[in-house]
Amino acid sequence: MLLREHLSGHVFDRIRLMASESGKSTVLIVDDTAANIELLHAILQDNYKVKVATNGARALNLAGRDPRPDIILLDIMMPEMDGYEVCRRLKDDSQTSSIPVIFITAKSQVEDERKGLALGAVDYITKPFDADIVDARVRQHLTSYLQSRELARENRALRSATSPQFSDHTEESLKALIATGESESVEFKSTLRWNMHSDKSDKRIENACLKTVAGYLNADGGTLMIGVNDDGDVVGLGNDHFKTEDKLLLHWVNLVKSYLGAEFMPYLRSACYDVDGQRLLVVECLPSAKPVFFRRDNDEAFFVRMTNTTQPLKPSEVLAYMEQRFTT
């Protein structure tokens, strides 16, 4: 209860601040009858900015443009596009779906009200209008909307402030990381693609690197260091036989995009660094916001990090893991 009271007070302080910074909230009246528009305008003009649309197409245009209205009063019986269709389109558009809609109408049957609420409207006011009721309903739903919008903004800011960030690596910090050895969050690979035993390119090594990255993305993140052998010795990138580092990085980025997915690139930072006179490819991974699957050679697998290894989950285990990892 104390937390709710604290949040509510904080949110309402922000709402008042928003009002002082940006002026009055905006109400969009959608009605094709001049008398109704004049009456609603007279009720609302002292406390709100009022915009008017006399048909559905105009209403959708105004609602979709910045600055968007904060609440919409919507008539049902209009030519060409009725209020039900306008509401449906508003709720189907991610840019306008959260704007509260109050139906204002002469249709007083329960079935009509039920249909309007099922389409996503927050309220239903029948004609003839009572000024106090209109003002109270608008104020109530507008306050709830502004409160939820501000809470969403604060939640985004909180997630941004507390979410993992990429590290600013230096040679000394990388040496310290190598000295800790392989762990749940650190793994070494001698090469990216070159099998030093057969002296030829081997996609199994690429796959191993990609599986490790997928495991980090599906878990709590981690760092893959290419150019360091299992004993923690820095061997560099020369064994991979790329003519330039740019070509190595391009090859690596193409592997990630092709077999994990381009949408996961923002969760990776891949860069080369100097360590003990050698160059390393360091791939730092942040936890992904959605599941990552490794797809190659008509195969698909879901990997996670367990202790200091990358393990695939059985199909029966994937759903339970995903529910725990991606819904909490």
Q: Which amino acid is at 13?
A: D
pLDDT in tens, 128-141: 999 999 999 999 99
Bridging pattern class, strands 268-275 and 278-285: antiparallel
- Percentage with pLDDT > 70 across the chain: 89
Tokens of 232: 């923690």
Q: Residue 252 class from Cβ within 10 Å (0-12 exposed, 13-18 middle, 19+ buried)?
A: buried
Residues 291, 263 contacting (CB under 8 angstroms): no
Residue 166 vs residue 49, higher pLDDT: 49
pLDDT in tens, 58-101: 999 999 988 899 999 999 999 999 999 999 999 999 889 999 99
Q: Which amino acid is at 114?
A: R
For each of the domains in the chain, give its residue range(s) and CATH number, in order of start.
2-162 (3.40.50.2300), 171-326 (3.30.950.30)
Size of the chain, expressed as the number of residues it contains: 328
Residues 85, 107 contacting (CB under 8 angstroms): no
Whether residue 3 is predicted with pLDDT greater than 70 in this model: the reply is: no
Q: Which amino acid is at 314?
A: K
Residues 190, 278: Cα–Cα separation, whole Å: 12
User: Tell me, what's the pLDDT at 21?
Assistant: 40
Q: Closest Cα to residue 126, out of 109, 104, 141? A: 104
Residues 284, 307: Cα–Cα separation, whole Å: 18
Task: Report the chain's terminal Cα–Cα distance, integer Å.
Answer: 23
User: Tell me, what's the pLDDT at 160?
Assistant: 52
pLDDT in tens, 23-54: 689 999 999 999 999 999 999 999 999 999 99
Which uninterrupted H or E stretch holds 11? helix 2-22
Which uninterrupted H or E stretch holds 186? strand 186-189
- What SS3 class is residue 272? strand
Residues 285, 306: Cα–Cα separation, whole Å: 16
Rounded average pLDDT over 300-312: 89
User: Tell me, what's the pLDDT at 200?
Assistant: 87
Rounded average pLDDT over 6-33: 62
Whether residue 243 is predicted with pLDDT greater than 60 in this model: the reply is: yes
